[in-house]
Chain A
Amino acid sequence: MLSQLKVGQFRCFEKFEARFEPGINLIVGPNAHGKTSLLEAACLLLRLQSPRTSRLGEIIRHNERGLLVDGHFKAAHLQFYYSPQRKKLALDSVEQRTASEYLKLGRVVWFSNQDVELVREGADVRRRFIDFVASQIDPSYRKALRDYEKCLRSRNLLLKAPVPRWREIQAFEEPLVTAGEQLIKSRHALITALRPLAQLAHANISGAREKLHLEYLPNAAAPLAEALAAARPEDTRLRMTTAGPHRDDLQLLLGPAPATLGSEGQQRTLVLSLRLSAARLLEAHHAEPPLLLLDDIFGELDLSRRAALLEQLPKNAQQIITTTRREWLPPELQAHVLDLESR
């Protein structure tokens, strides 16, 4: 459980401290008061990444050098300092050389009112969802992803040389394939595990007639090394790597039809089911529910869906929910309220 969260030079906050309770925590306040930023800080504290951006520099308060998040999760004291020049993380005041022990502590699932992007936007949004969940299931996923991205950027740079440098390109393909194959394997396993959980959540929220279906669409059909070799003429022409897991996608179907054809309501239900399935999977995998961060998602849902969602959330998970209006949540809901309006 996250009991305390302090932020420094974080987005709109110069300094802010919040306390949280087990169960449901409501952050209430008007727009632009930093509700989402607090959720983001909680996510950054536990996972060292933001669900809103991959460039942490953007989160640092304007004209400041670096940001700090500091908090108590279960019995541990977590601290993370980030500036473009240096990163520092500490566990119980002991500086950590690597993030591996630190990241073992807590898991997060993020629900946002922007989630419908998962259906409507490009594959990169869906890959980010997959990567975020997969790195919380499999600790080596994060390293594989970083290695893969580094190899990919190196290979692309070598392809862009006036004359592509094939001997070097080939040298980078070895670690590229090792990391890439691991990503493909993990993503395949992840989506296989999420599928029935997402279907169940979907049926429970919507009572839907149509069935939700998730399908992993790996870009490289054959073994990655073969796909890379086959794509060489194309890569030479375009001067970039065209085959590999950096182009994977997650296909979302409602019944036989692509989810993009669904109504607004259907799409919102679908992404909720997806997030819920991630929460369920993390709960089952670690025998402990993840911290649930729900960013202003109740405004878009009708009453029955609000109730169904609250019903579906893992029972003993700690939840931090932001909302502009208290009345969007059922009045009988037992919650610890943090009011940002008076700030």
Chain B
Amino acid sequence: MNRAEYPAPLRSLIAELKRLPGIGSRSAERIALWMVQSPDSHPESLARAIECVKREIQPCERCGFFSEANLCPLCLDTSRDPLLLCIVEQPTDILPLERSGAFRGFYHALGGKISPLDHVGPESLRIPALLQRLREHPPHEVILALGADVEGEATSHYLGDMLREFPLKVTRLAQGLPAGTGLEYADELTLSRALSGRTSLAAHP
């Protein structure tokens, strides 16, 4: 006697879903069954959305953010300050900075960080595009908003070294206390970085 199995189309959907990040066998099976059974599943519109996103979305050729055209709305926004350029690791890092509302300049996403242990060298990052941008439209200040881990630090130093030949100011994000909390909630490392990066009160320059 053969063991009962799902029919082939259902099996192939489960197999496809399992390839998605964060989806294991159980979840893949649940989603596939829901697709088949639920009156609300609308598989055509999901299929269209998936096709469309792959067709319509490309990285902005200037900053690397997700875009429907060659240039994204951020890069086309003429009300932004062209003298400020903020460098981030991933295009997804742009959104939290935008939501903060504190930055009104332009962005450049590297697409990663230098990580020899993961076989990522500077040649796999968008550094040539950055250098070309700096030559064509030199900003006054480049802000390095990379991660505070070992690879983020190393990438910051690498870029800092590389940008020395440009007549511009290179800064990096401060590290310190999270807003709205007391000292008792900060871990030792954050506190010691906050101490070493302390600033003068405005009245005592």
Q: Which residues of A are in contact with B by a Cβ distance under 8 Å?
A: 100, 139-140, 143, 147, 150-151, 153-154, 157-158, 165, 167-168, 170-172, 174-175, 178-179
A–B pairs, 16, beta carbons within 8 Å = A140-B188, A143-B189, A151-B150, A153-B117, A154-B115, A154-B154, A167-B161, A168-B114, A168-B154, A170-B157, A170-B158, A170-B161, A171-B155, A174-B153, A175-B150, A179-B150
Q: Which residues of B contact A157 (CB under 8 A)?
A: 116-117
Confirm or deny: B167 has a beta carbon within 8 angstroms of a beta carbon on chain A: no
Who on chain B is nearest to A155 by CB? B116
- A-facing residues in B111-125 (Cβ within 8 Å): 114-117, 121-122
Check A165 against B150 for contact (C-beta < 8 Å). Answer: no
Interchain nearest-CB distance for A144 vs B (Å): 9
Q: Which residues of A contact B153 (CB under 8 A)?
A: 174-175, 178
Interchain nearest-CB distance for B167 vs A (Å): 21
Interchain nearest-CB distance for A98 vs B (Å): 8
Confirm or deny: B136 has a beta carbon within 8 angstroms of a beta carbon on chain A: no
Check B189 against A165 for contact (C-beta < 8 Å). Answer: no
Cα distance, A66 to B157, chains bound together (Å): 39
Shortest 10 CB-CB contacts between residues of A and residues of B: A171-B158, A175-B153, A171-B157, A171-B154, A157-B116, A154-B116, A174-B157, A172-B154, A150-B150, A175-B150
Q: Which residues of B contact A179 (CB under 8 A)?
A: 150
Question: With contacts defined as CB atoms under 8 Å apart, how many contacts are there between chain A and chain B in the complex?
Answer: 55
- A-facing residues in B128-186 (Cβ within 8 Å): 150-151, 153-155, 157-158, 161-162
Cα distance, A153 to B150, chains bound together (Å): 11
Cα distance, A12 to B121, chains bound together (Å): 43
Confirm or deny: B187 has a beta carbon within 8 angstroms of a beta carbon on chain A: yes
Main secondary structure of the interface of A (DSSP, over half): helix
Interchain nearest-CB distance for B188 vs A (Å): 5
A175 contacts which of B116, B117, B154 (Cβ < 8 Å)?
Answer: B154
A158 contacts which of B116, B188, B192 (Cβ < 8 Å)?
Answer: B116
Q: Which residues of B contact A170 (CB under 8 A)?
A: 157-158, 161
Cα distance, A158 to B119, chains bound together (Å): 10
Cα distance, A150 to B115, chains bound together (Å): 10
Interchain nearest-CB distance for A151 vs B (Å): 6
Check A147 against B150 for contact (C-beta < 8 Å). Answer: yes
| In the complex with contacts A147-B150, A154-B150, A157-B116, A167-B158 CB distance below 8 A | yes
Interchain nearest-CB distance for B60 vs A (Å): 27
Most buried by B among A154, A158, A170: A154
Q: Which residues of A contact B151 (CB under 8 A)?
A: 154
Check B117 against A140 for contact (C-beta < 8 Å). Answer: no
Interchain nearest-CB distance for A311 vs B (Å): 36
Cα distance, A20 to B157, chains bound together (Å): 51
Cα distance, A172 to B187, chains bound together (Å): 25
Cα distance, A145 to B122, chains bound together (Å): 25
Q: Which residues of B contact A175 (CB under 8 A)?
A: 150, 153-154, 157
Check B154 against A174 for contact (C-beta < 8 Å). Answer: yes
Interchain nearest-CB distance for B43 vs A (Å): 32
Cα distance, A271 to B115, chains bound together (Å): 40
Check A168 against B122 for contact (C-beta < 8 Å). Answer: yes
Q: Which residues of B contact A150 (CB under 8 A)?
A: 117, 150
Q: Which residues of B contact A140 (CB under 8 A)?
A: 188-189, 192
Cα distance, A172 to B157, chains bound together (Å): 8
Cα distance, A100 to B114, chains bound together (Å): 27
Known: A171-B154, A179-B150. 7 other contacts (CB 8 A): A140-B189, A153-B116, A157-B117, A167-B162, A168-B122, A174-B153, A175-B153
